Amino acid sequence: MIMKKILCITLCIILSLSLLTGCLSSVGGYEDIKGVKNGDVIDGNTRFAFEMFRLLNSEDNDSNIFISPLSISMALTMTLNGAAGSTEEVMKQALFYSGSQRDSINAGSKYLKDRLTSLDKKVTLNIANSIWIKEGYPIKQAFKDINSQMFDAEVKNLDFSKSDSVNVINGWIDKATKGLIPTMLEPPIPANVVMYLINAIYFKGEWTIPFDPKSTYDRQFNAIDGTKPVKPMMAKTGEVDFYKTDSFQAIRLPYGSGKVSMYCILPDETSDIDRLVDEMNIEVWTALREGMVKRDEAFVQIPKFKMEYGIKELNSSLTALGMGEAFSDNANFSDMSDNNLAISRVLHKAVIEVNEEGSKAAGVTVVEMRETAMPDRVYFTADRPFLFVIADNEDGSILFMGKMIK
C-alpha cells in the first residue's frame, strides 16, 4: 500500500513538472526557446555579409573598411521581431531570410550566439545585446520577451530627456567592447526617438603560432592611391593552409585551438581589389574554405596594423538591399508597439588591432527607432446645417447649390 502511494505521488509530481515545463515553454507564444542550427540563417548571414561589404565598398572604395556583419544582422534581427506585414517581408529580404519563419530565424540566431561564444576556450568572443526604451513608452511585452529569451538582450527603461541618458547607453557599449568602442551616440537624444536596439561583439584571440616580434621589419606598403608608406611587416615561415585561383590566393591563420581563423585574401598583381570584392560571394567563400591545402613551407608577411571604421550610417546600404520601407513613415512595427514606429538610423562602428600576438576587434550596431508623425486626420460629420454645391472642377462654374437645415 505504501509503495502504491509513493508511486502515485511520484507520477503526480512528474505530471505536474511536465505541465509546468509545457506552460513555461509557451510563455509569450514561443514553443521552444532553445537554439537550433539553421542552415538558412547561417547562409543568410553569410550572404548578407558579402552584400553589405560590397555596398559599403562602393560608397567608400578609397578608404579602409572594417565591419562586423554579424553585429549588424543580429541587431536588425532583434528589430525584425517587431515588424509586421510588408515591413517584415522587406527586412527578411534584406537580411536574406526570405521564406523563413520568425521562430526559425530566432532559434537559428540563438544557436549562432551560443555556439560562437563557446567555440574556443582559448579565444575570447563576447556577444551582448541590449534594448533601451524611452521611459513610459508602450512597447509590447511579447517583443521584449522574445528578444530577452532568444538574444539574451538586456531590456532597460531610461529617461531619454535626462542629459546623462546618452552616457548611460555609451557606458554599456564601452563595457561590452572592453573600451575598444567607448561611444556611439551623441547627446541630446531626439524627442521622437523611443528606443535603441544594440548589439556589441568583442573578440580577442592569440595566434595558434604567433609571429616573432624579432622578425617584424619595416617595408613599403603599396597603397591604392599610389603612395608607398613604410609600415611594420610581420613575418614568419612554416606550415600554412593555402588556397589559390587565377585571380587571388588566400591563407588561413588560426587563433587559439584552431576553431577561429583569420583568412587573408590577396588579389593577383594584375587584378584589382574592388574586382575581388565584387567577385566574392557565398559560393566563392565556400570553395575557399573547403579548398584549403596544407603547405609545409611558406613565408608569410602581413602588416601589423590598427583600423577603425565608422561611425557609419547604414540606411542607404540597407535601403539598397530592399528594406527602405522600414525607414519610412509607412513602416509597420505593430508587433513592437501599437504606436507608429520606424527605424530612423542604423549606426555601425568596428575596430581591429593586429599584432604579433594576435588580434583584438569589436563591432557595435545601433538601431534607432523613432515615432512617426501621425497622419493629419480629418473628421467631417454633417450632423448640423450645411451648404452643398455641385460645380465644374476646372472652371468653378456652379451647377447646383443648396442648403441642408433639416
DSSP letters along 59-100, please? Answer: HSTTS-----HHHHHHHHHHHHTT--HHHHHHHHHHTT-TT-
Residuewise pLDDT in 10s, the chain (406 residues): 433 433 343 333 233 333 333 333 333 344 446 789 999 999 999 999 999 999 999 999 888 999 999 999 999 999 999 999 999 999 999 999 999 999 999 999 999 999 999 999 999 999 999 999 999 999 999 999 999 999 999 999 999 999 899 999 999 999 999 999 999 999 999 999 999 999 999 999 999 999 999 999 998 888 888 888 899 999 999 999 999 999 988 988 889 998 999 999 998 888 888 988 999 999 999 999 999 999 998 999 999 989 899 899 999 999 999 999 999 999 999 999 999 999 999 999 999 998 999 999 999 999 999 999 754 444 455 666 756 555 556 655 545 556 565 5
User: What backbone torsions phi and psi does residue 336 show, to the nearest 5 degrees?
Assistant: -100, -40
How many helical (H) and strand (E) elements, i.e. helices and strands, does the chain have? Answer: 10, 13
* pLDDT score of 224: 83
Quick one: which of 349, 362, 350, 367 has its CA closest to 311?
349
Whole-angstrom CA distances from 345 to 163, 194, 240 are 21, 12, 42
Quick one: which of 129, 130, 104, 92 has its CA closest to 39?
104
Q: Give the integer Cα–Cα distance in Å for 307 and 301.
A: 18
Q: What domains can be seen in the chain, in order of their start residue?
A: 28-381 (3.30.497.10)
* pLDDT score of 11: 34
Phi-psi label, residue 194: left if phi above 0, alpha if psi -120 to 50, beta otherwise: alpha
* pLDDT score of 270: 82
Q: Give the integer Cα–Cα distance in Å for 81 and 93.
A: 14
**Strand (E) or helix (H) holding 265:** strand 260-267
* pLDDT score of 373: 72
Query: With contact defined as beta carbons under 8 Å apart, do 82 and 76 qualify?
Result: no
Q: In the numeric block, which cell numbers belong to residue 58?
A: 562602393
pTM to 2 decimal places: 0.85
Quick one: which of 141, 77, 81, 144 has its CA closest to 113?
77
